[in-house]
């Protein structure tokens, strides 16, 4: 039985080690945010719990010898269980928002993302590709490209998206440029003004990353627009980092910090 337990711990340790590498890999390409940090810390704790399980068992045995220690262990178990349920709840919200199809009569809003010099980042390119596919499939639908210019960007995110969509064959007459926003709230607020000024449909088709659709849906609804999702695929090695980052961001919204 001990050999079986040891084998299970080794396998789990390898899994968490590989997962940790998934959080480290984006750092090598310049992506560093709270998602990396939380992911790396979590994997490090789980590695200790698996590869260093002998030490963990000793700590638990020691805590079990006192009432305070037992209370701590029970509280830790409850918190862990609630954490698993909470993550499952947030994941359900994300998936549900992602599956919300837009109305046929809609206005596409492509949310901005980082521009590297004059060129789109991998995540922005994925959003452009998803927007292009939707616009080709729905030739009568207008599009708002939304995103301002950061200090490290040569052109605005909106201009970058506009240029690529036009180059790919989308008529410039279908595309409205919103190039002042610096976050998702402003993306939607400024795009709403364009919708009202040009008498466009209030049914929206939000083009953003899969994990970002839920937070975007809340902002759209707060702006009294109707929400639909056109999710963009995320590069595989960025997905864990941005998924964890989004869990933190949604939690910040829930507790009123964002």
**Are 124 and 165 contacting, i.e. CB atoms less than 8 angstroms apart?**
no
User: In this structure, what DSSP letter does residue 101 have?
Assistant: P
Among candidate residues 167, 168, 191, 195, the one with its CA nearest the CA of residue 179: 191
Q: Does residue 1 carry a pLDDT above 50?
A: no
92 exposed, middle or buried (CB, 10 Å; 0-12, 13-18, 19+)?
A: exposed
79 and 113, same structural domain?
no
Among 30-34, 38-42, 77-81, 161-165, which is the least confidently predicted range? 30-34
CATH of residue 120's domain is: 3.40.50.620
Q: pLDDT tens for residues 165-216?
A: 999 999 999 999 999 999 999 999 999 999 999 999 999 999 999 999 999 9
**Are 94 and 138 contacting, i.e. CB atoms less than 8 angstroms apart?**
no
User: In this structure, what DSSP letter does residue 155 have?
Assistant: S
Identify whether 149 is part of a domain: yes
Strand runs (DSSP E) across 67-211, as ranges? 107-111, 115-116, 119-120, 143-146, 175-178, 204-209
Identify whether 37 is part of a domain: yes
Last residue of a domain, one of 70, 98, 126: 98
- Over range 37-63, report the average pLDDT: 85
Identify whether 195 is part of a domain: yes
- Whole-model pTM: value is 0.86
Q: pLDDT tens for residues 129-171?
A: 999 999 999 999 999 999 999 888 899 999 999 999 999 999 9
89 and 114, same structural domain?
no
35 and 12, same structural domain?
yes
64 and 9, same structural domain?
yes
121 and 74, same structural domain?
no
**Are 164 and 172 contacting, i.e. CB atoms less than 8 angstroms apart?**
no
Rounded distance, CA 144 to CA 1, Å?
61
* pLDDT the model gives residue 7: 77
Structural domain range at position 22: 2-98
Identify whether 11 is part of a domain: yes
* pLDDT the model gives residue 3: 66
Identify whether 247 is part of a domain: no
Number of domains in the chain: 2
Identify whether 67 is part of a domain: yes
Which conformational region is residue 147 in: left (phi greater than 0), alpha (psi within -120 to 50 degrees), or beta?
A: left
State the distance between the two ends of the chain, measured CA to CA, in whole angstroms: 49
Strand partners, 230: 207
**Are 124 and 111 contacting, i.e. CB atoms less than 8 angstroms apart?**
no
């Amino acid at each position: 039985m001990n050999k079986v337990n040891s084998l299970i711990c080794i396998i789990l340790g390898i899994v968490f080690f590989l997962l940790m590498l998934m959080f480290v890999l984006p750092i090598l390409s310049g992506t560093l945010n709270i998602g990396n940090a939380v992911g790396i810390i979590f994997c490090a704790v789980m590695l200790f719990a698996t590869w260093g399980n002998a030490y963990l068992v000793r700590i638990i045995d020691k805590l079990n010898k006192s009432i305070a220690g037992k209370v701590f262990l029970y509280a830790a178990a409850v918190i862990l269980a609630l954490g698993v349920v909470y993550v499952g709840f947030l994941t359900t919200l994300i998936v549900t928002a992602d599956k919300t199809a837009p109305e046929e009569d809609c206005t596409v809003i492509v949310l901005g993302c980082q521009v590297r010099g004059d060129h789109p980042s991998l995540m922005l390119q994925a959003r452009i590709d998803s927007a292009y596919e939707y616009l080709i499939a729905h030739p009568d639908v207008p599009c708002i490209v939304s995103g301002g210019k950061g200090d490290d960007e040569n052109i605005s995110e909106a201009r970058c998206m506009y240029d690529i969509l036009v180059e790919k064959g989308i008529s410039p007459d279908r595309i409205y440029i919103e190039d002042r926003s610096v976050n998702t709230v402003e993306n939607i607020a400024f795009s709403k003004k364009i919708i009202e000024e040009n008498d466009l449909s209030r049914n929206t088709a939000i083009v953003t990353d899969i994990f970002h659709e839920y937070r975007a849906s809340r902002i759209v609804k707060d702006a009294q627009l109707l929400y639909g999702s056109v999710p963009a695929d995320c590069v595989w090695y960025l997905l864990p980092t941005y998924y964890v980052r989004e869990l933190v961001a949604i939690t910040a919204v829930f507790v009123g910090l964002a």
